[in-house]
Amino acid sequence: MRALRILTYNVRRCVGGDGRADPSRIAEVIARHAPDIVALQELDVGRARTGHVDQAHAIAHHLAMAFHFHPAITVEEERYGDAILTALPVRLVKAGPLPGLPHRPRLEARGALWVAVDLGGGVELHVINTHLGLRAAEREVQVEALLGGGWLGHPECRGQRVVLLGDFNAMPRSRAYLRLAGRLRDAQRALPEHHRPHPTFPARWPMLRIDHVFLGEGIEALRAEVPRGMPERVASDHLPLVVDLRIATTGPA
């Protein structure tokens, strides 16, 4: 068995509740919780609005981690998207767009990023980070894509130890959430009955549980926390979700 801590966090281009863009502040919040794997959404890379900083690189450098970044949006030299960071051996499996609504071509583009983390002994943990759309119909189309042959249904992913996580913009009673929960286990709900799942948004007064960690076979959730200290409440408009996992490293996933 292998213990790991994983963290997912929508960082809102590193702009805090005080209106200040500060990747180092985001990195410090992450470091407080010492995760092994970090999934981030809403990163700016080279964008004028946040000082042309490569936020993915800046945060990874601060944490002494390697990273993979996928831009959901690219406009000339400016990019905006999601990243996965870790100090463990990691390889990129796939990064690509998710479908939108054909009759709504101006909706914000969405994507997903898939890496395989080497746990040793020939065992890999497959991690897919995503950020789904704001409209229910859009999310449902994107969930079907994630469940399909290009992602979770892909031969390299199917039957493997897999974690799907990110900002799903989907509450637990939504169709998108229920569709995912029918295939994978919600880490917060997989804990003992006395654990009450915690909301992550908005950061100052969290009421909505829209950031999730979903688990495949061979992975056990040990603990989940949504930290609500002052640094977390100021750094972004979401709170991070931190989950401790125990992963089988022998036998089938």
For the segment 140-149, what is each residue's pLDDT rounded down to a tens digit? 999 999 999 9
For the segment 5-41, what is each residue's pLDDT rounded down to a tens digit? 999 999 999 999 999 999 999 999 999 999 999 999 9
- 0.95 exceeded by pTM: yes
What is the CA 231 to chain-centroid distance, rounded?
20
Question: Tell me, what's the pLDDT at 205?
Answer: 96
Q: What band does 165 get if pLDDT is binned at 50, 70 and 90?
A: very high
Q: Is the pLDDT of residue 210 over 90?
A: yes
Q: Which residues contact 228 (CB under 8 A, 6 or more apart)?
A: 206, 239
Strand 219-225, strand 211-215: pairing: unpaired
